[in-house]
Amino acid sequence: MQMDAILSIKPIYANQILAGTKKVEFRKRSFKEKVRRVYIYASVPVKQIVGYFTFTEIDEDTPANLWEKYKDVGGITKEDFFSYYANNDQGCAFVIKSVTPFKQAKSPNDFIDDFVPPQSYVYLDLNAK
């Protein structure tokens, strides 16, 4: 069964994804479940779900290799990238296929009762709502 997920993403990066200039989302670890759609939770100060994206693949590799492959489309400085991956010998890049911005941002409580912003991600079962 395919799931959806909500990722917490800093507003600067969420806006780049929505604008189509950030074509990969870097993470320290991948999903354990098969995910078809990733909802973008723009973190503080926005605190809203602003859209979603689908992806073609999750590229798992060393941070150095991920940087070489995606530095031109990652929307992040080299310094911030390697700071994010400090003390990690593996990472992943969600290669974005398509992005669907919401005309109006949505409250996360529309998706999950008693929503608590995830440190990384949370699975979403839309059939439960």
Q: Give the global pTM.
A: 0.93
Q: Which alpha helices (DSSP H) does the chain contain, by range?
A: 11-19, 63-70, 78-84
pLDDT in tens, the chain (129 residues): 789 999 999 999 999 999 999 999 999 999 999 999 999 999 999 999 999 999 999 999 999 999 999 999 999 999 999 999 999 999 999 999 999 999 999 999 988 888 998 888 999 876 544
- Exposed, middle or buried: residue 43 (CB in 10 Å: 0-12, 13-18, 19+)? middle
Q: Is 6 within 8 Å of 121 (Cβ atoms)? A: yes
Q: Which residue in 1, 6, 2, 3 sits closest to 122, CA to CA?
A: 6
